[in-house]
Amino acid sequence: MASPAVLMRLVASAYSVAEKAAAIVRKVMAGGDLGIVEKCGANDLQTKADRLVQMSICSSLSRKFPKLTIIGEEDLPSYDVDEELIENGQYEEILKKTCPPQYSTIKEEELVVWVDPLDGTKEYTEGLLDHVTVLIGIAYGGKAIAGIINQPYYNYEAGADAVLGRTIWGVLGLGAFGFQLKEVPDGKHIIITTRSHSSKMVNDCIGAMNPDTVVRVGGAGNKVIHLIEGKASAYVFASPGCKKWDTCAPEAILHAVGGKLTDIHGNSLHYNKEVKHMNSAGVLATLRNFDYYASRVPDSVKQALVP
């Protein structure tokens, strides 16, 4: 058999790297010293877990795939990585799948990897552990085409017998795996949004959508998991603040199951390496009925959020 396509080898490695990352996230929390640093005020934090996980993911992937462009959230001084942080494994189940033909000849140097080592840091520091995810997004030609979301504390309240943590992954044209796809019942409008980065505009935009329920949780990864598991119908964030590493992996997984993630105007996000990191025009995402939510965004919100 021909050797697997670069994309599938990268996804298989990133899966294992994300599992190692989750173990680091849990170990730092169990150790009790989070080493919290304020990057830009109390609502933009970095912990020892953010730092160690970024080193682990970036170093592990760049050793195996030296020509990749990898962009991580954290600004770290140059470092000698501890060998304990390196993960060499690859998830064999992914290598058994056939790469979608349109991606089978992609070269390593054409891929851009967006890494959020710990999404939901604020919630991590507050003990809302199942809001936390590790995000590895893969882009080609400016488009999010594959992603891995690890949820290190999935099941943490389900009792000692439950398996702790899970990894969800997806590739455009192949599908997404590691969870049960579900839709919100009865066409209810359940809007999911930020809990720690709210504003009048964020709330006005949600209000205009006629919500039955508003769910406020941390993390972009966590919110997209709610969409694909039928726990929320739209992720609405009418504010700057969310970055490309927050949206790349979740977008790829959502798109792989037929959903849509864009800015608040309905414009696609771009993930080429030169792109501005900030998603200045907010985020709008759904599994189904995207047009309904897009049509409800007030003009005043659109005018205030310039891409």
What residues act catalytically? 50, 121
| DSSP symbol at 116 | E
Strand pairing report for 213-216 and 190-193: parallel
Number of residues that bind Mg ion (CB under 5 A): 5
Q: Kindly state the smallest distance separating residue 209's Cβ from ligand AMP, in Å.
A: 17
First-to-final CA distance of the chain: 46
218 binds ligand AMP (CB under 6 A): yes
Stretch that binds ligand AMP, among 22-30, 189-197, 252-260, 269-277 (CB under 6 A): 189-197
| Pure H helices in the chain | 6-31, 48-64, 92-95, 121-125, 200-207, 220-228, 244-256, 290-296, 299-304
Q: Are 114 and 248 in contact (CB under 8 A)?
A: yes
Q: Kindly state the smallest distance separating residue 46's Cβ from Mg ion, in Å.
A: 8
242 binds ligand AMP (CB under 6 A): yes
- Please say which residue, 39 or 63, places its beta carbon nearer to ligand AMP: 39
Cα 132 to Cα 82, 152, 153, 196, 220: the distances in Å are 24, 7, 7, 14, 9
Q: Read off φ and ψ for residue 123, nearest 5 degrees.
A: -70, -35
246 binds ligand AMP (CB under 6 A): yes
220 binds ligand AMP (CB under 6 A): yes
251 binds Mg ion (CB under 5 A): no
Q: Binding marks (x or -) toward Mg ion, 101..120, rule CB under 5 A? A: ---------------x-xx-
Contact residue for Mg ion among 87, 130, 246, 251 (CB under 5 A): 246
- Please say which residue, 4 or 147, places its beta carbon nearer to Mg ion: 147
Query: Which partner in Mg ion, ligand AMP, none is near 115 (CB below 5 to 8 A by kind)?
Result: none
Q: Are 294 and 266 in contact (CB under 8 A)?
A: yes
Q: Single out the residue of 240, 229, 184 nearest to residue 211, CA to CA.
A: 184
Q: Kindly state the smallest distance separating residue 116's Cβ from Mg ion, in Å.
A: 4
**Cα gap 88→83, rounded to integer Å:** 11
Interacting positions 25-44 with ligand AMP (CB under 6 A):
43-44
**Which residues would be at the binding site for ligand AMP (CB under 6 A)?**
43-44, 119-120, 194, 196-197, 218-220, 241-242, 246
